[in-house]
Chains A and B, each alone.
Chain A
Amino acid sequence: MPETVIRAHKLTKRFGPFVAVDAISFEVSKGEIFGFLGANGAGKTTAMRMLCGLSTPSSGEAVIAGYDIYSQTEKIKKRIGYMSQKFSLYDDLTVLENIRFFAGIYGLSATQIKLKTEELITRLGLEQETKKMVAALPLGWKQKLSFSVSILHEPKIVFLDEPTSGVDPVTRRQFWDLIYQAAAQGITIFLTTHYMDEAEYCNRISIMVDGKIVALDTPHRLKQHFNASSMDDVFYQLARGAQRQE
């Protein structure tokens, strides 16, 4: 049995009378690529904020990387990585400065920072760009660099919120190569996306509608179960009845 790194049980978040996340339960294993899908407003972001230790649940339980979601949020934050298109790197720092800055934030030692920085620069082929401002990099490179930075401290889990939004199809696939490499190293990938072809690249997928997880399985079994030819079709069948929007 692979180790379970995320275990959520009836996790719930209310804002006044509004139930943003409604008793979701699921488990994610070490090294798994888990797609967390849902319509706009289904509650994905709120759920993700709870899993990252940024928002206290109203009820329910969760253990993330071995730590309790209520009492050990600081420990959780040290063992996870996070990246989204909205928050990734600092535009007005250079490539090198960004890597050093985030490595420092994640608590790496000076020796580790030096080692990791060199390794990362070589792996991404960014030798010529180290002194460039991140603002000057093409979006695709920024996203690849940002992902690599988010796993610099070898977290147990990395949370990716629409990491490939707006990126060209070739770069999008290169980004997925990085995801596969990280998963092969044992890092668990927890991601959201609006690209349904990317749902196919996940080991398992959950689909949220109106705060609840309404489906959770491998892409193959979901398609079988809903008698659908594509994940797009599965998503459409489940989410078109959604009552709420963002």
Chain B
Amino acid sequence: MQTVILEHISKTYGKEISPAVNDVSFAVNKGELFGLIGPDGAGKTSLFRILTTLILPDTGKASVDGFDIVRDYKKIRNTVGYMPGRFSLYQDLSVEENLNFFATLFNTTVAKNYDLIKDIYVQIEPFKKRRAGKLSGGMKQKLALSCALIHQPTVLFLDEPTTGVDPVSRKEFWEMLDRLKASGITILVSTPYMDEAARCDRIALMHHGKILSIETPANMIAAFPDPIYAIKASNMPSLLQQLNAYEGVKSSYAFGEYAHVLLNESTGGENNLKLYLSGKGFTDIEMTLTQPTIEDWFIKLLNS
């Protein structure tokens, strides 16, 4: 069953020439953890705002949990949870007051829904009398998630919940999402961190308002068309320069401690590249075939 359906959704703001969202269509299955992956300005936030009925698309149709985003907007607002990218709870209410406030808005109580948020809320409960504005970044994030969940939404929209968050807290956040997913909630989450893509059931790569690709992370990685060589030398900046200058190289770029290199098939491949590099004075070359990642795909799609 499909819980979120978009058909040819487009949106252009004011006098802008290029659309923020450009003819986007996809569907998210019930209970799926679906990731929108893309840099700032890709159109992720606009899509979330359209789906949560905060703005109208210029063209196209969309529905959430069977409700049309235009006709049934009030019903959608009752059934979805939304955590915007910018912290938007009441800074001068306490943790507890914020949670009670959002429960009351949705005609429910914290007690009735405590099971769903328990895992997350216990971590901030020791600070329940503290004003939300005085919380740390990680705690704000947990409170915002608790408030977004308090009415037992069927679909949860999380807009860049991990941006600016350190790698340890990011890991913890994704573990929380896994537990929520296990409880049956459909989750749409956006992130600029490519390494988080692997934790989603399916991902849509977005850039300049368009979807570049939609797949499961595993299928996406399996479908990468070129072998990728990971190459290392003691002088990496110089290695990267020489790789870029070599005609047998289709594409090369820094990738952590390695350079990732895609070769042109016609020019004799691996051995010629090794010869070329030793001719350039690199004596300590380490070269292995490596698994592609979502980031390799993104770079490939941006370069094409």
**Distance, CA A171 to CA B295, complexed state (A):** 12
Do residues B168 and A242 form an inter-chain contact, with CB atoms below 8 A? yes
When A166-B39, A168-B298, A219-B257 are in contact, do A39 and B192 touch as well, CB less than 8 Å? no
Of the stretches A13-21, A46-54, A91-99, A232-240, the one at the interface is A232-240
User: Which residues of B in the span 177-225 have a Cβ within 8 Å of any Cβ on A?
Assistant: 192-195, 207
Question: A40 to B165, Cβ gap below 8 A?
Answer: yes
**What band does the interface of chain B fall in when counting residues whose beta carbon is under 8 Å from A?**
35 or more
Q: Are B169 and A230 in contact (CB under 8 A)?
A: no
Q: Which of A30-53 contact B (CB under 8 A)?
A: 38-41
A170 touches B256 (CB 8 A): no
Q: Identify the stretch in B26-34, B114-122, B134-142, B276-284 within 8 Å (CB) of chain A at 4 or more residues.
A: B134-142
Within 8 A of B (CB), among A156-179: 162, 165-171, 173, 176
Question: Is B227 engaged at the interface, CB distance under 8 Å to the other chain?
Answer: no
Q: Which chain B positions have C-beta within 8 A of A24?
A: none
> When the two chains form their complex, are residues B137 and A138 in contact, meaning their CB atoms are under 8 A apart?
no
Q: How many residues of A contact B (CB 8 A)?
A: 38
Q: Shortest CB–CB separation between residue B73 and chain A, in angstroms?
A: 30
A41 and B136 contacting across the interface, CB-CB below 8 Å: yes
B292 at the interface (CB under 8 A from A): no
| Mask of A136-153 contacts with B, CB within 8 angstroms, 1/0 | 001110000000000000
Rounded to whole angstroms, the CA-CA distance of A208 and B257 in the bound complex is: 21
Kindly identify which residue among A166, A173, A201 contacts B163, using a CB–CB cutoff of 8 Å.
Answer: A166
Given contacts A168-B298, A170-B302, A200-B257, contact A245 B40 (CB under 8 A): no
Asked whether A167 lies within 8 Å of B168 as measured between CB atoms, the reply is: no
B67 within 8 A of A: no
Contact of A239 among B136, B166, B192 (CB under 8 A): B166
**Contact bitstring B35-70, A, C-beta under 8 A = 1, else 0:** 000111110000000000000000000000000000
